[in-house]
Amino acid sequence: MNNIRKKILEKIFLNDRINHFCLKKQWFSNKNIEYVYDFILLETKFLDNFDSVSFRERIFYIENDLTSPQICEFCGLRKLKFKFTLKFSKTCGDKECLSKIRSFYLRQFFNNLTMKQREELHRKIGNSNRGSLESRFGVERAKQIKENISKSIIGRKQSKETRIKRSISLKGKLSGNKNPNFGKKPWNFGLKTGPLSYEQKQLQSKIMKDKILEGSFTPCITNSWTKWKSFVKIQNKVIKFRSDWDAAFWLLNQKSQYEKIRIDYVFGNERHIYLVDFVNYEDKILFEIKPKKLKDSPKNNVKFKTAKNWCEKNGYKFVVIDDDWFKENAKKINFKIHSNLLKGMKQFLRE
């Protein structure tokens, strides 16, 4: 450590321990040593690109003569998490990185076990998961676990009366007035009902397609293959998408709105609803995100033709965004902030 750094640290340390009042800027002003505060910020300027960097962490970098951010080796993008026990954690704290390090230590642990020890461990784990919740955790704890599971599924705790009303309503929607018990008693969710008839399936399909077309219902993003992983986080607000391609496009074209235009079309003698990926109402453009290899499929040809007809009638332009667009624009994304998009865009970053 050079002499300037040593002298700076002497100003904020007392009896070889940091004076915790110095963690506030006002303390430097009261002591007329604001230059010390400015020096610490200047020396750790390389941390300005990261979120949630505390002043104590900046001092720690100077104490240990670190001149560059300590990056997580698992993702290679984010900074290591700083603990107030005056050390860095082994990862950045992201869920994926924590999962990787747990897997790493678990592999190390199992590799050090003999075959007999592994069999004994598997037997104990299997025995611990057998039996009802009541036998494993006790009546009170089991009741609490069931309530937590119910709350996590429906988002809130429901009263018995509400559950009965919902079961009667659902039963009526599925079975209609043909069911003699309709409206008389709640549906038993534990029992499997008989298969719906062809007419009932067709009716359900028509109802849902009408709702999608009129905009009162949008197919849930969580039902897609992305499993909640495709999103953009801006100003602590998380915006979800069906794919990393959709998320990356919106990040670079935030005037566009997601899945607002719905177009009715027929393919294979069946009615379908086309949810156009993006619409820019200001410039009057519809955007469809589609890989090159899928652009010329029979169904997509019909969808695109229908969309072009809609554009001609309404004075819009139809644009298909394919691999070439992402090759030109993917580098504009700041992957230090939007690291979750790196996996989907990696193929376009290769030179």
Transcribe 106-136 into DSSP letters. HHHHHHTS-HHHHHHHHHHHHHHT-S-HHHH
Q: Residue 309 and residue 265: Cα distance in Å, rounded?
A: 11
pTM of the predicted protein model: 0.47
Lowest mean pLDDT among 65-74, 143-152, 240-249, 340-349: 143-152
- Residue 161's contacts (CB-CB under 8 Å, 6 or more residues apart) are none
CB distance 343 to 96 below 8 Å: no
- pLDDT the model gives residue 327: 92
Chain center to CA of 120 = 38
Averaged pLDDT of the chain = 81
Residue 277 near residue 294 (C-beta atoms within 8 A): no
Predicted confidence (pLDDT) per residue in 166-193, tens digit: 666 655 555 444 455 544 544 444 444 5
Read off the amino acid at residue 121: L
In the chain, the amino acid numbered 40 is I
Produce one character per residue of 316-338: b if its CB has 16 or more CB atoms within 10 Å, e if not: bebebbbeebbeebbeebebebb
Read off the pLDDT band of 60 (50, 70, 90). Answer: confident
pLDDT at 25: 83
Domains of the chain (ranges; CATH) run: 3-69 (no CATH), 154-194 (no CATH), 221-349 (3.40.1350)
What is the phi/psi pair of residue 288, to 5°? Answer: -115, 125
**Percent residues over pLDDT 70 in the chain:** 83
Contacts for 40 with CB less than 8 Å, ≥ 6 apart: 8, 55, 58, 59, 62
Rg (CA), the chain: 29
Average pLDDT rounded to a whole number, residues 139-158? 73
Residues 112-129: pLDDT tens digits?
A: 888 888 888 878 777 776
Q: Using an 8 Å Cβ cutoff, are 346 and 75 in contact?
A: no
Model confidence pLDDT, tens digit, residues 252-270: 999 999 999 999 999 888 8
| SS3 assignment, position 179 | coil
